[in-house]
Amino acid sequence: MAVVASTIIRAPYAADPSRSRGRRYPEPSPQFRSEFQRDRDRIIHSAAFRRLEYKTQVFVNHEGDWFRTRLTHSLEVAQIARTVARLLGLNEDLVEAIALAHDLGHTPFGHAGQDALNQCMSDYGGFEHNLQSIRVVDELEERYAEFPGLNLTFDTREGILKHCSRAKAAELGELGLRFLEKRQPSLEAQLANLADEVAYNSHDIDDGLRAGLLTVEQLEDVPLVGPLLDRVRREHPELPQRRMIYQVVRYLIELLVADLIESSRAAIEASGVSDPEEVRAFGEPLIRFSDPVRRDLRHLKGFLFKNLYRHHRVYRMAAKSKRVVRALFQAFFDDPALLPPQQQARAVAQEEALGEAGRARVVADYIAGMTDRFAIAEYGRLFDPMHLT
């Protein structure tokens, strides 16, 4: 049976897989997929992507099956990003690949785990999940005979690297050049970044309410959310609270996505860009929210930081998580023989090449790749006398 490729009409400023800057290791072009579809498929089949199912978003994974994980969050980001990309004429395959890969470098226990690991690595170059995502796709995934990592296109790797210090950018070659030259990434990369914001702001409200850490009454005074609560109450006065919360979150996502589409479309039109390279040379991002919505999002973030992320129950959980990560790092760093054989070999090789910093980076890679439950189990195996294996 003949394979017929569907025709997709994209805007002239959309990323074009035939004009990609290529891969670190040259490969023949795929027969039935675009280069960006190949990237997406490699990400989905990676071990790091599967482990996201058991990495926390806000709540530690074992606290409840209904809370969002890094995996469900990444899928939600991809869904939002694809919707906006289609309506703006952007490359849906590229934006989906970036969205699915953007959290691959996250540690167990969310930002608490990252903060602890960064402290442990303070004398050895630090730790940042965004850079770790690049390490995962460039080096740490071991699947292919011809190259390390996933050998993704430059375009996908660029989108994964949302932010980077000038010092780190100088070490990354072509990938870090835009941070040094103050250029923009592709519109697809810009979109994945803001789709991430839409997803985590709206869904953290949902999880916070489910967990009992937020109340509907608290949200009544939040600019973006209060009017939506009033709307749902007017439209469905007898609706049970669980369904009311879902409807509010649904309306919030619709509001943010609509604003993102309208504001981005207007900005792109006003900019006059007609080519992806003109997008990169433009002085500011063109995928954006309107000023009022951006202001209200800052208010919402402040509300969530104070009332959810700093809630005493979340704070206690974060404090315990940090202790686990710090203890694991110190134990493995002081005695690499505690590491699994493959990691021991890497630690020896990296220490011979780079000194203690090399050994520390191998330990950080190992811990960053852990799921929440595996990190807890490793902690028990190392420090609980009742664990004999």
For 270-299, write each residue's pLDDT tens digit: 999 999 999 999 999 999 999 999 999 999
Cβ-proximal residues to 206 (8 Å cutoff; 6+ apart), any chain: 68, 245, 246, 249
Identify which of 41, 26, 144 has the alpha carbon closest to the alpha carbon of residue 94. Answer: 41
Count how many residues are written for the chain. 389
CB-side neighbour CA atoms (13 Å) of 299: 14
Task: Find residue 56's DSSP bridge partners.
Answer: 69
Q: What pLDDT, on the 0 to 100 scale, is given for residue 65?
A: 46
For 293-324, write each residue's pLDDT tens digit: 999 999 999 999 999 988 988 889 899 999 99
Token duo for residue 23:
């891969």
Q: In the chain, what are the domains?
A: 33-313 (1.10.3210.10), 319-383 (no CATH)
Whole-angstrom distance, CA of residue 185 vs CA of residue 122: 29
- C-alpha separations of 330 from 117, 121, 388 in Å: 10, 10, 20
- Strand, helix or coil for residue 147: coil
Q: Which 8-state DSSP code applies to residue 29?
A: P
Q: What pLDDT, on the 0 to 100 scale, is given for residue 387?
A: 65
Give percent helix, percent strand, percent coil of the chain, each to the nearest 5. Answer: 65, 0, 35
Average pLDDT, the chain: 92
Whole-angstrom distance, CA of residue 359 vs CA of residue 343: 10
Contact 36, 155 (CB under 8 A): yes
For 79-123, write each residue's pLDDT tens digit: 999 999 999 999 999 999 999 999 999 999 988 999 999 999 999
pTM here is: 0.93
Token duo for residue 37:
């579809």
Whole-angstrom distance, CA of residue 179 vs CA of residue 202: 29
Identify which of 249, 247, 231, 313 has the alpha carbon closest to the alpha carbon of residue 59. Answer: 313
